[in-house]
């Protein structure tokens, strides 16, 4: 059986762009903390490895409190708009039309929509009514890779069909004015909004997808996720994430590669989700790379921030735009606490 291929990939960003300096300077209005305490936390903005991020809302919106009803309306509106932009760009790059799509996989964790995002995009663009649908919620940052693997599985299960893989995360939209926890300060220093669309099929030309794998760590439910609050989603971050990567990721990586008869030396490169500067430091150690070697991942983090599941697709897009070939390993970590792997050969 032929391996599914990536026929085309496109990303989309909302129009509002903020430099890290702008967000840091607004921290006094964003957080109701003692000035000395806030000054103690502000270095997180300088050390995040981020120069700018994009948001679906203007900076002034974050200076006030907002409830579930408004957040949900804005999530549906802006998530669908970004997905439509990414989808149309992706189809144009593939030389295909709306009627050529036979399945849709949609990934997001930063908002709730029922009907789900895939149904909203189908209605907005007029996709074929017999299209297969698979909405995926709750995988967080890991969803970019694990969701991609599900789309690849669907393409493999239905040879010749064209699967549209959609990812959108409006991380910045989840910011809650009045949440003065350290986790929310860190989130304000990291998160941005973005979306991606990919077309996958066993028929056509493009990089091929190989084996996939995932692992959910025991006793790790409190490492990362959301806590549902009256006015939105409260971010849950453990300060131990980089340490967990250092202690647990490397043996997991080696086990996955050994199962394929491969070693790290057989990889042409990595396509990792850049959760943050410290996480990238830990990942480089796990892959036995020199500090700063994950240049593309660091560039995406610098230019766009952490867009949760969508981020790794931005890394993939930039990696494929460079003149290189060989086996690449995609990876991402997210709530569960889980790791996802996906092989791709360019």
- Which of 158, 55, 56, 154 lies closest to 106, judged by CA? 154
- Which of 149, 171, 201 delimits the end of a domain? 201
Least trusted range by pLDDT, from 19-23, 43-47, 159-163, 312-316: 43-47
**pLDDT at res. 204:** 94
Check pLDDT > 80 for residue 173.
yes
Q: Is 272 a catalytic residue?
A: no
Same domain, 190 and 244: no
What confidence tens digit (pLDDT) does each residue in 92-138 have?
Answer: 999 999 999 999 999 999 999 999 999 999 999 999 999 999 999 99
- CATH number for the domain harbouring residue 23: 3.40.47.10
**pLDDT tens string 249-295:** 899 999 999 999 999 889 999 999 998 898 999 999 999 999 999 99
Same domain (yes/no): 122, 212: no
Q: What are phi and psi of 268, to 5 degrees?
A: -75, -20
Query: Is the domain of 181 the same as that of 295?
Result: no
Residue that terminates a domain, selected from 150, 177, 201: 201
Catalytic residue chosen out of the listed positions 56, 90, 141, 304? 141
Assess whether 143 and 263 both reside in one domain: no
Do the beta carbons of residue 271 and residue 319 sit within 8 Å?
yes
The predicted pLDDT at position 46 comes to 86
Distance of CA 41 to the CA centre of its chain: 25
pLDDT at 1: 67
Give the pLDDT of residue 237: 77
- Same structural domain, 143 and 272: no
Strand segments, DSSP code E, in the chain are 5-12, 16-19, 52-55, 103-108, 132-137, 163-170, 193-201, 208-216, 224-229, 232-237, 269-272, 327-334, 338-345
Q: Mind listing the pLDDT tens digit for each residue in 214-242?
A: 999 888 888 888 888 878 888 877 777 88
Question: Does 151 share its domain with 178?
Answer: yes
- Which of 154, 169, 201 is the last residue in one of the domains? 201
Residue-wise burial string across 262-289, b where 16 or more C-beta atoms lie within 10 A, e elsewhere: beeeebebbbbbbbbbbbbbbbbebbee
Note whether 79 and 163 are same-domain residues. yes
The reported pTM is 0.94
302: Cα within 13 Å, side-chain hemisphere: 7
Q: What is the number of structural domains in the chain?
A: 2
Both 341 and 275 in one domain: the answer is: yes
Are 61 and 76 members of one domain? yes
151 and 31 in a single domain? The answer is yes
**307-324 per-position pLDDT tens digit:** 999 999 999 999 999 888
Same structural domain for residues 244 and 213?
yes
| Same domain, residue pair 140 and 117 | yes
Q: What is the pLDDT of residues 30-77, one digit of tens each?
A: 886 666 566 777 888 888 899 999 999 999 999 888 998 999 999 999
What Rg, from alpha-carbon coordinates, does the chain have? Answer: 19
Range of the domain at 82: 5-201
- pLDDT score at 339: 94
């Amino acid at each position: 059986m032929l391996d599914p291929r990536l026929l085309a990939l496109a990303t989309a960003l909302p129009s509002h762009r903020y430099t890290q300096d702008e967000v840091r300077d607004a921290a006094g209005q964003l957080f109701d903390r003692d000035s000395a305490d806030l000054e103690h936390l502000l270095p997180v903005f300088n050390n995040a490895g981020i120069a700018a991020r994009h948001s679906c809302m203007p900076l002034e919106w974050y200076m006030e409190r907002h409830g579930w009803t408004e957040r949900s309306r804005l999530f549906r509106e802006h998530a669908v708009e970004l997905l439509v932009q990414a989808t149309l760009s992706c189809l144009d790059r593939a030389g295909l039309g709306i009627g050529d799509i036979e399945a849709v996989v949609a990934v997001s964790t930063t908002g709730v929509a029922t009907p789900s995002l895939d149904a909203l995009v189908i209605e907005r663009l007029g996709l074929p009514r017999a299209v297969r649908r698979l909405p995926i919620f709750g995988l967080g940052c890991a969803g970019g890779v694990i969701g991609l693997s599900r789309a690849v599985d669907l393409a493999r299960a239905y040879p010749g069909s064209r699967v549209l893989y959609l990812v959108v995360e409006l991380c910045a939209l989840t910011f809650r004015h009045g949440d003065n926890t350290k986790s929310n300060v860190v989130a304000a220093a990291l998160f941005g909004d973005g979306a991606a669309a990919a077309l996958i099929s066993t028929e056509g030309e493009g990089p091929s997808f190989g084996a996939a794998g995932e692992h959910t760590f025991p006793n790790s439910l409190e490492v990362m996720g959301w806590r549902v609050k009256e006015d939105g989603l409260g971010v849950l971050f453990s300060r131990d994430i980089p340490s967990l990567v250092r202690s647990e990721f490397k043996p997991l990586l080696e086990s996955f590669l050994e199962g394929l008869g491969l070693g790290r030396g057989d990889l042409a490169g990595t396509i990792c989700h850049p959760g943050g500067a410290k996480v990238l430091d830990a990942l480089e150690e796990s892959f036995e790379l020199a500090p700063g070697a994950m240049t593309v991942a660091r560039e995406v983090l610098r230019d766009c921030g952490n867009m949760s599941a969508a981020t790794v697709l931005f890394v993939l897009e930039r990696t494929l735009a460079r003149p290189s070939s060989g086996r690449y390993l995609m990876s991402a970590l997210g709530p569960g606490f889980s790791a996802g792997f996906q092989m791709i050969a360019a």
